[in-house]
Amino acid sequence: MTETVRILYVDDDADIRSIVEFALEDEEGLTLELCASGPEAVAKASTLRPDLILLDVMMPGMDGPATLQRLRDQAGLVATPVVFVTAKVQPQEVAHFKSIGAVDVIAKPFDPMALADQIRDLWMHCRNG
């Protein structure tokens, strides 16, 4: 039986949201919820109970790291793996994101055709260890 991974993707850019939506639709084993801001994600996450959260870093108001902090404060989301999707991929930046609790970073611009596999790999990695 194939497990379904619930993914929450948070990005303020509508175009990128729809690219992600398009890239992941019909992908077996993945379901996608989209949020357009940090506060929206914080509000919805406890109900959605996603398995994996993908967070944009640069968002107006509450940015990715701040959203991560707020999500962590919620019951049930303390251990949910969070991945930043960002253009900031210098080794030090990646190290910083990991130090504040991200499991990994997906570099923008990403290859939409490879995104689903990338997410599956990440998920396998998180689940196993």
Partner 1 sequence: MQKPQFPADEAQRLQALRALKVLDTLPEERYDRLTRIARQMFKTSITLVSLVDAERQWFKSRQGLETIETPRDISFCGHAILENRIFYVSDATQDPRFADNPLVVGAPNIRLYAGAPLSTVDGHRVGVLCIIDNQPRCLTAEELQALRDLADCVEVELQQAHIHQAADTLRHWENYLHTVLNTVIDGVVTIDEQGIIQSFNRAAEHIFNYTAPEVIGKNVNVLMPEPYCSEHDAYLARYQATGEARIIGIGREVAGRRRDGSIFPMDLAVGTATLEGVPLFTGVVRDLSERQRAKRQLDETNHLRQAILDSANVGIISTDIKGVIRIFNKAAQRMLGYTEEEMVGKPNLVLIHDPGEIAAHAKALSKELACSIEPGFEVFVAKPRRGQVAENEWTCIRKDGSRFPVSLTVTALRDPQGEITGFLGIGNDITERKKMERMKNEFVSTVSHELRTPLTSIRGALGLVLGKASAGLSPKAQQLLETANRNSERLTLLINDILDLEKIESGRLEFNFKLLDLAALARQALAANEGYAQQHGIRLHLNEEVPQAMVWGDEHRLLQVFANLLSNAIKYSPKNGEVAVSVQPASNAYFRVGVKDNGRGIPAAFRHRIFQRFAQADSSDTREKGGTGLDLSITKAIVERHNGYIDYYSQENESTEFFFELPVWQEVIEADHPGRTRSRVLICEDNPDVASILAALLEQEGLSCDIAATAAAARSLLTKVPYRALLLDLTLPDGDGLTMIRQLREDETTHEVPVIVISGRAEEGRNAWSGDALTVVDWLRKPVDSERLAQALDQALRQGRFPRILHVEDDPDIIQITQALIDEAAEYAFATSLREARPRLQAEHFDLIILDITLPDGSGLSLLDEISSDSQVMLFSGLESKTDELSQQIAAVLVKSKTSNERLLATIKKLIDKY
Quote the DSSP letter at residue 110.
P
Work out the end-to-end distance of the chain between its first and last CA atoms, rounded to an integer number of angstroms: 21
d(CA 58, CA 80): 21
* β-strand partners of 9: 34, 54
Q: Does 111 participate in binding partner 1 (rule CB under 8 A)?
A: yes
CB 77 within 8 A of CB 46: yes
Q: Does 78 participate in binding partner 1 (rule CB under 8 A)?
A: no
Q: Does 20 participate in binding partner 1 (rule CB under 8 A)?
A: yes
Residue among 91 and 129 whose Cβ is closer to partner 1:
91
CB 31 within 8 A of CB 6: yes
For partner 1 (CB under 8 A), the number of binding residues is: 32
Q: Does 40 participate in binding partner 1 (rule CB under 8 A)?
A: no
Q: Does 79 participate in binding partner 1 (rule CB under 8 A)?
A: no
Q: Does 28 participate in binding partner 1 (rule CB under 8 A)?
A: no
Q: Does 92 participate in binding partner 1 (rule CB under 8 A)?
A: yes
Only segment of 17-25, 45-53, 74-82, 117-125 that touches partner 1 (CB under 8 A) = 17-25
d(CA 102, CA 112): 21
Residue type, 74: Q
Residues that bind partner 1 (CB under 8 A): 13, 15-16, 19-20, 22-23, 57-58, 62-66, 69-70, 73, 87-88, 90-93, 96, 99-100, 108-113
